[in-house]
Amino acid sequence: MLRLEGIKTFYGNIQAIKGISLEVNEGEVVCLIGANGAGKSTTLMSISAIVPPREGEIYFNDEPISRLAPDEIVKMGIVQVPEGRHIFPGLTVQENLDMGALLRRDKEAIGKDLDYVFELFPILKDRKSQAGGTLSGGEQQMLAISRALMASPKLLLMDEPSLGLAPLLVQQIFEIIRKVNTESGTTIFLVEQNANLALKIADRGYVMETGRITLTDTAANLLENEDVRRAYLGV
Amino acid sequence: MEVLKELRKSLLLALWFVVLTFPIMVIRVNTITDTIEWRWERAILMAVGSFVGSFLWKFLLARQEARKSRQTAKGSSEASDDGASAQKSLTERLLARLGWTRDTLREKKVAIPALAILGAIVIVFPFVTSIYQSNIMISALIYVILALGLNVVLGLGNMLHLGFAAFYAIGAYTYGLLNHYFGVGFWIALPLGAAASAIAGILLAIPVLRLRGDYLAIVTLAFGEIIRLLLVNLSGITMGPSGVKSISRPGLFGLDLSYTQAITYTYFICLALVIFTVFIVHRLENSRIGRQLVAMGEDDIAARAMGVNTSRAKLTAFALGAVWAGIAGVLFAAKTTFINPDSFKVWDSVLILCMVVLGGMASIPGVIAGALILILLPEYLRVFSDYRLLIFGAVLVIMMVFRPGGMIPKRRKAYKLRPEELQGSAAVPVGGGEGDAP
């Protein structure tokens, strides 16, 4: 479904990604793990075209997309949940969710998706008319995920959904990610530092180090891999 | 103990102020007799004044803090409490004293007569008052249009724009020059001025697409000055500092209007355009493009991740804001019949900015109130004209500390749940219909 070939991305003169290739198949949950500064978030930013790659090509359903604008990428069905819960603090929860459905015009399906995210996160329904900025960290992350789901994505890109959340909440969020994948068949590409949990819900994983992909395998094998265990799982 | 500490602090502050203002307040050199006059009574006045002022300031701040913390406590204890309704505004408290709520104002039997009375006053106004009053009111209405235009850029898009007077100037000069050279009339110049201003808005927006916050403010400030300096220096075309004279007033089917009639006519044109502006800006707020602007203003990255084309949104915001400035400019040229670059200085940009901030960003009634107050008050308080800037500054500081949202802050739309949804969960709030009327 999504294929990156030799992607190189720069911030000014600093090269953040030094030529990576990876693939995400339809219906999968794929996670990209790695230390701080490995280039994980930049990879997502490159796919979303917010920081477009300088070299290489990105294919979505065999169509090259690396020259498209961010809004065209969203239109194709690739939606990102940005790192650090970039929600709209001044807008209400409902308005935040409406913003997710900005590019859609199918009112009925939007209503259905709204019911679906309220079912996933009932707390958001209670906080419907509250400003996004007044939510707690965990609720904001739920809102960010829900907002992305409102765009009815074919491929959901998630950047560190566990960032700054309590362990119990992280567990809950990951369960819901898995649920979204199985229930609505949304393909998920997940970037995480919390390698242990991410690999547990993922089908396959990539390990990234200083701008390069150093290892790829099924999630179960990565969990068993000695190097990965030492470097990222802390055992 | 707390009070004693605060008193001591205020005392020290008062002493410091006395020292600080000593050279200008106390000492006066009498150049005729070559003596120094010591005006000690002024030092005492200064001390008492700053002591009381500082104490009052701290007292009010403490009271505001207390109210805020009470609200948060309340808000967290009742999960269902909607943040907007927990915050009782000043107007709400005043209304409550009369035994009313905000909803009373929206009820038809109150709202319609109130609107009718307001409408009657506005229509009768130019006939019962002097030409002088009408002229002031026209200025105020022009500034209402300007402020509503800036509100599109600043209130919705959250982009600090310090060169708005430039668009105002472009509108005014479009009419002024077209009228001077080609004898183009007001009604043809009105859309042309708006278009010229919108094009200028887009031209300015292209280089600043990647800028935000402070940098954007600096560039727009420079743009405002560039336009003014161009108008001064292109004297071959714009007649430089001496300006464009004897621009025609708005025509009415070729009728010959007396001065009084022309002013009254201009007043009604302004009024109609204000209503038109309010209507369009209100529609814009709830439109797709309006929401894209709000999203972009709130969080750039999130907006892009949701598929907002931020470049296009920014261009649209600048163009849509500039349109109203252009219209206001044409009106201004038609009203004064004389324009020169002095009317479009940085101060005018700042004044428009203040109207939006003081009135309440993104809130249409707030912006209108802000514009009316900032234009009308100085006119009626001419007695204090020496202290105008002082009062102006003090009011801005006080407003920003005690009412950062402006006089009439934007009320976030609260959604009413549909009945079938209510059955699902009992604890959902019904956010009383405080959204804008559809």
Given the structure tokens 């329904």, which residue do they identify?
A125
| Over residues B17-31, mean pLDDT | 85
pLDDT in tens, B311-323: 888 999 999 999 9
For the segment B352-372, the average pLDDT, to the nearest whole number, is: 88
Does A148 lie at the interface with B, CB-CB under 8 angstroms?
Answer: yes
Question: What percent of chain A shows pLDDT beyond 90?
Answer: 23
Least confident window among A31-40, A70-79, B82-91, B364-373: B82-91
Give the model's confidence band at B145: pLDDT under 50 very low, under 70 low, under 90 confident, else very high: very high
What is the pLDDT, as a whole number, of residue B13? 87
Overall average pLDDT of the B247-270 stretch: 82
B436 contacts chain A (CB < 8 A)? no
> Is residue B192 located within the same domain as residue B57?
no
Would you say B393 and B378 are in contact if contact means Cβ atoms under 8 Å apart?
no
Q: Is residue B359 part of a domain?
A: yes
Q: Which chain A residues are Cβ-neighbours of B425 within 8 angstroms?
A: 122, 125-126
Q: What is the pLDDT of residue A91?
A: 86
Domain-embedded: residue B60: yes
Closest residue in A to B309 (Cα) is A71
User: What spatial distance separates the first Cα and last Cα of chain A, rounded to whole Å?
Assistant: 34
Q: Could B305 and A81 be called an inter-chain contact, meaning their C-beta atoms sit closer than 8 Å? A: yes
pLDDT at B164: 92
Is residue B428 very low, low, confident or very high in pLDDT (cuts 50, 70, 90)? Answer: very low
- CB contacts of B84 in chain A (<8 Å) are 129, 131
Q: Which residue has the tokens 């204890």?
A: B77
Q: Any CB–CB contact under 8 A between A74 and chain B?
A: yes
Q: Which one of B288, B294, B306 makes the best mutation probe of the A interface by having the most chain A beta carbons within 10 Å?
A: B306
The answer to the question of residue B101 being in a domain is no
Q: How far is B189 from chain A (nearest CA, A)?
A: 37
In a domain, B110, yes or no: no
Average pLDDT of the residues of chain B: 81
Contact with chain A for residue B417, Cβ under 8 A: yes
Higher pLDDT pick, A151 / B430: A151
Distances (CA, A) of B63 to B58, B72, B97: 9, 15, 20
CA dist., res. A149 & res. A137, Å (int): 18
| Same domain, yes or no: B155 and B58 | no
The dihedral over CA atoms of A192, A194, A199, A201, expressed in degrees to the nearest 10, equals: -90
CA pair distance A162, A174, nearest whole angstrom? 8
User: Which residues, 6+ apart, have CB-to-CB distance to B154 below 8 Å?
Assistant: B160, B161, B353, B356, B357, B361
> Measured between alpha carbons, how far is A88 from A133 in angstroms, rounded to an integer?
7
B427 in reach of chain A (CB within 8 A): yes
Q: Is the dihedral of CA B389, B394, B398, B401 positive or negative?
A: positive
Band of residue B77 on the pLDDT scale cut at 50, 70, 90: very low
Beta bridge partners of A63: A60
Q: What is the pLDDT of residue A222?
A: 87
Same domain, B364 and B215: yes
User: How are beta strands B27-30 and B35-38 bridged, if at all?
Assistant: antiparallel
Q: Judge whether B79 is closer than 8 Å to chain A, CB to CB.
A: yes
Q: Which residues of B fall within a CB distance of 8 Å from A90?
A: 294, 298, 412
Give the C-alpha distances (Å, rounded to integers) separating B242 from B205, B245, B338, B413.
Answer: 30, 8, 10, 49
| Facing A50 at nearest CB: one of B294, B301, B424 | B301
**Residue at B227 is within a domain:** yes
A77 in reach of chain B (CB within 8 A): no
* Residue A190, burial from CB neighbour count under 10 angstroms (0-12, 13-18, 19+): buried
The residue among B403 and A188 whose pLDDT is bigger is A188
Q: Which residues of B touch A158 (CB under 8 A)?
A: none
Closest by CA to A39, choosing from A208, A196, A215, A200, is A208
Nearest Cα residue to B169 out of B209, B225, B219, B207: B225
User: B303 to chain A nearest CA, in Å?
Assistant: 8
Which of B140, B325, B317 minimizes the C-alpha distance to B227? B325
Angle (deg, nearest 10), helices B186-205 and B164-182: 140
A111 touches chain B (CB under 8 A): no
Nearest to A129 among B79, B288, B431 (CB): B431
Domain shared by B77 and B146, yes or no? no
B271 and B384, same structural domain? Answer: yes
User: Which residues of chain A make contact with B292, given a CB cutoff of 8 A?
Assistant: 102
A31 touching chain B per CB within 8 A: no
Same domain, B180 and B287: yes
Q: Distance between CA atoms of A21 and A208, rounded to whole angstroms?
A: 11
Domain edge (last residue) among B44, B60, B83: B83
Answer yes or no: is B208 within a domain: yes
Predicted confidence band at A43 (pLDDT cuts at 50, 70, 90)? very high
Cα first-last separation, chain B: 54
Contact residues for B337 (Cβ-Cβ < 8 A; gap 6+)? B245, B246, B247, B248, B249
- Does the CB of B301 have a partner CB in chain A at under 8 Å? yes
pLDDT of residue B82: 43
Q: Is A70 on the interface with B (CB under 8 A)?
A: yes
- DSSP readout, A95-146? HHHHHHTTT---HHHHHHHHHHHHHH-HHHHHTTTSBGGGS-HHHHHHHHHH
Tell me the count of A-B CB pairs closer than 8 A.
106
- How, if at all, do strands A204-209 and A187-192 pair? unpaired
> What is the average per-residue pLDDT within B215-244?
89
- DSSP, collapsed to helix, strand or coil, labels residue B79 as coil
* Cβ atoms of B150 and B279 closer than 8 Å: no
Q: Grade residue B358 by pLDDT with cuts at 50, 70 and 90.
A: confident
Looking at the domain assignment, is residue B290 inside a domain?
A: yes
Contact A89 B295 (CB under 8 A): no
Whether B11 and B155 share a structural domain:
no
Could you identify the residue written with the tokens 């150093």? A214
| For residue B104, pLDDT beyond 80 | no
Give the per-residue pLDDT at B90.
60
Whether B363 contacts chain A with CB within 8 A: no
Average pLDDT over residues B241-249: 84
Looking up residue B338, the CATH number of its domain turns out to be 1.10.3470
Task: Verify that B364 and B241 share a domain, yes or no.
Answer: yes
A71:B307 CB<8 A: yes
Contact A102 B431 (CB under 8 A): no
Question: How many angstroms separate the Cα of A193 from the Cα of each of A161, A165, A207, B90, B270?
Answer: 10, 13, 11, 48, 60
Q: Give pLDDT, residue B248.
A: 82
The pLDDT value recorded for residue B173 is: 94
Angle at the Cα of A163 from the Cα atoms of A190 and A3, rounded to 5 degrees = 15
Question: In the numeric block, which tokens belong to residue B335?
Answer: 């009203």
Beta bridge partners of B147: none
Answer whether B426 touches A (CB < 8 Å): no
Q: Are A127 and A85 in contact (CB under 8 A)?
A: no
Question: What ipTM was predicted for this assembly?
Answer: 0.81
DSSP class of residue A165 equals -
Domain match, B172 and B304 both: yes
Give CA angle at B206 (B200, B208), nearest 5°: 105
Q: Are residues B68 and B148 in the same domain?
A: no
pLDDT at site A223: 86
Between residues B436 and B308, the one the model is more confident about: B308
Using the predicted structure, report yes or no on whether residue B92 has a pLDDT greater than 80.
no
Distance to chain A for B154, nearest Cα, Å: 15
Residue of A nearest to B86 (CA): A130
Put simply, the answer to whether B304 touches A128 (Cβ < 8 Å) is: no
Select from B292, B428, B429 the Cβ nearest to the Cβ of A102.
B292
Specify whether the CB–CB gap between B222 and B343 falls below 8 A. no
Number of domains in chain B: 2
> Given B83, B288, B305, which is nearest A131 (Cβ)?
B83
Shortest distance between the Cα of B363 and any Cα of chain A, in A, equals 14
Residue B102, domain member (yes or no):
no
Domain residues for the domain of B303 are 135-402
In terms of Cβ atoms closer than 10 Å to its own Cβ (0-12, 13-18, 19+), residue A62 is exposed
Q: Are A128 and B417 an interchain contact pair (Cβ–Cβ within 8 Å)?
A: yes
Please tell me the distance in Å from A53's CA to the nearest CA on chain B.
Answer: 16
DSSP string, B351-412: HHHHHHHHH-TT-HHHHHHHHHHHHHHHHHTGGGGGGHHHHHHHHHHHHHHH-TT-SSPPPP
pLDDT at residue B411, as a whole number: 67
Per residue in A63-94, pLDDT (tens digit) is 899 888 888 898 899 999 988 778 888 888 98
Mean pLDDT of B237-263: 81
Query: What's the pLDDT score for residue B86?
Result: 41
Which residue of chain A is at minimal alpha-carbon distance from B306?
A100
Write out chain A residues lying below 8 Å of B308, CB-based: 71, 102
Residues B197 and B331 in one domain: yes
B419 and chain A: CB distance < 8 Å anywhere? no
Question: Is residue B83 within 8 angstroms of chain A, CB to CB?
Answer: yes
State pLDDT tens for residues A102-160.
888 888 888 888 999 998 898 898 888 888 888 888 888 889 999 999 988 999 999 98
As to burial, measured by CB atoms within 10 angstroms (0-12 exposed, 13-18 middle, 19+ buried), residue A88 is buried
Cβ within 8 Å, pair B302-A88: yes
Mutate to test the interface with B, among A42, A78, A93, A99 (most CBs of B within 10 A): A99
Confidence of residue B263 (pLDDT cuts 50, 70, 90): confident
Q: Are residues B19 and B141 in the same domain?
A: no
Classify the phi-psi angles of A34: left when phi > 0, otherwise alpha if psi is within -120 to 50, otherwise beta: left
